[in-house]
Amino acid sequence: MVTMRPLRKSNPRHGSRRGAMLATSSDELGLALDDVVVVFACNERFVPYLSVALQSIIENASPERRYDIIVLTRDITPASILTITRQADVPNVFIGFLDVDAALGDLELPHHGHFRPETYFRLLAPSLLANVDKAIYLDSDIVVNADLAELYDTDVTGCLLGATRDADTIGQSHGYDVTVRGYLKDELGLSDPDSYFQAGVLLMNLEEFRRQTTPQQLLELSTTRMWRWLDQDVLNKVADGHYVRIHMKWNYLYDWEFMRRSHIVVHAPADVQAEYDEARRDVRIAHYAGPDNRPWLYPRCDLAGLFWRYASDSPYLEELRAELEESHHSTDGILTRFKALVFYTGAMPTFDLCYPVGSARRRGMIKGYQFLGGNIG
């Protein structure tokens, strides 16, 4: 049984003007939390990308609304808190930093691949933000290209959340990876696998979460096994298709390696493909979801220009440029790019040719790979 120790009461750390601090409860944040509430989960490594996401929110914010941004973290440094707080020094945007270690205690959350424990923090949001009824949750690898107030105003009464269907996972389940559909239906227990949603952008009805479940139950479920897509699976299992469907333009999964659309989404049902294509023509939130090929390392990837447009006004611009330069000229960076080039231009096309999508050979090969411990997700 998962246990959580109570939130400890202590003095706020790293306080600064306008309420930004490393707090241990939402009461310590000093935020009004009475209009558009936005929640991020972020570690120190991802702070530069969080800064770009924050800049995109600021530039698209309505002057008629107030935006309170809460960053759930366990290791963001005082220097980074100060930099981000200064960046958010605009009249109607406020920011606070909440330490989740007080809630996690000694619990080690499972993670694998490119996922990290921070991905589970959204499960704690209903209890961490006990004085908030509704909030937008955002991953840090996004840019916002519209006013978030429009998304926030979506009615989610009676549902746990609002979310977009996951065109990638649904496409996989219809042939690209034939093991996915069985996983969604038999292991996750979804009534309709085509209702599977992507959890990088969520409109969370925190009040409804507190009515229907507890953080202990959610964390217990998250640690019963190694879920393929971690807490995204947990949330899908709990909701089982009963959520407010939001258009994919509010969580557009960029065309990873310029293969997501042509190799994966193409296998999804026609309405999923149509919505994905429509979202591409009106991107409200771009989500750079994938293990690699992100714009801060690959400036020619899909929608990289949108990322760098907002990065140009981030206080971390020089750091982002240095990271990009390092990835192109260091031995490790060159080797990583070479491996990716060989894999995506050689190994993957060869695999698709030898093991066609939908074939029994492909199913057998993928199942054998997973049996030997390989990770497809």
For 184-214, how does the pLDDT look when each residue is reduced to its tens digit (9 = 90+)?
999 999 999 999 999 999 999 999 999 999 8
CA-CA distances (angstroms) from residue 25 to 8, 10, 80, 265? 8, 9, 20, 41
The pLDDT, as a whole number, for residue 2 is 40
How does residue 8 score in pLDDT terms, banded at 50, 70 and 90? very low
**Residue 38 is which amino acid?**
V
Answer with the residue of higher pLDDT: 225 or 112. 225
Say if residue 65's pLDDT is above 90: yes
3-class DSSP assignment, residue 10? coil
Least confident span in 65-74, 118-127, 285-294: 118-127
The pLDDT, as a whole number, for residue 14 is 38
pTM of the model: 0.86
CB 151 within 8 A of CB 166: no
The residues with which 70 forms a beta bridge, in sequence order, are 39, 96
d(CA 96, CA 111): 26
The per-residue pLDDT for range 215-257, each reduced to its tens digit, is 888 888 887 888 899 899 999 999 999 999 999 999 999 999 8
d(CA 192, CA 213): 22
How does residue 345 score in pLDDT terms, banded at 50, 70 and 90? low
d(CA 260, CA 279): 14
Determine whether 65 is exposed, middle or buried from the number of CB atoms within 10 Å of its CB (0-12, 13-18, 19+).
middle
3-class DSSP assignment, residue 36? strand
How does residue 142 score in pLDDT terms, banded at 50, 70 and 90? very high
Least confident span in 102-106, 125-129, 132-136, 335-339: 102-106
**Residue 342 is which amino acid?**
V
Answer with the residue of higher pLDDT: 325 or 341. 325
The pLDDT, as a whole number, for residue 104 is 60
Domain range 17-316, CATH architecture: Alpha-Beta Complex (3.90)
Answer with the residue of higher pLDDT: 109 or 158. 158
Tokens describing residue 290:
């994938």
CA-CA distances (angstroms) from residue 166 to 144, 190, 242, 311, 348? 18, 14, 15, 27, 22
* Total Cβ atoms within 10 A of residue 58: 19
Average pLDDT over residues 318-345: 77
CA-CA distances (angstroms) from residue 185 to 12, 87, 234? 45, 45, 13
CA-CA distances (angstroms) from residue 168 to 261, 270, 308, 377? 8, 13, 24, 11
Residue of 262, 320, 327, 265 whose CA lies nearest to 296: 320
CB 316 within 8 A of CB 51: yes
Least confident span in 105-119, 158-172, 182-196, 224-238: 105-119
The residues with which 97 forms a beta bridge, in sequence order, are 22, 71
d(CA 310, CA 263): 29
Q: If you ran DSSP here, which 8-state letter would residue 65 be given?
A: S
Answer with the residue of higher pLDDT: 23 or 64. 64
Strands (E), the chain: 22-23, 36-41, 67-73, 93-99, 134-138, 142-144, 161-165, 197-205, 244-245, 252-253, 285-287
How does residue 367 score in pLDDT terms, banded at 50, 70 and 90? low
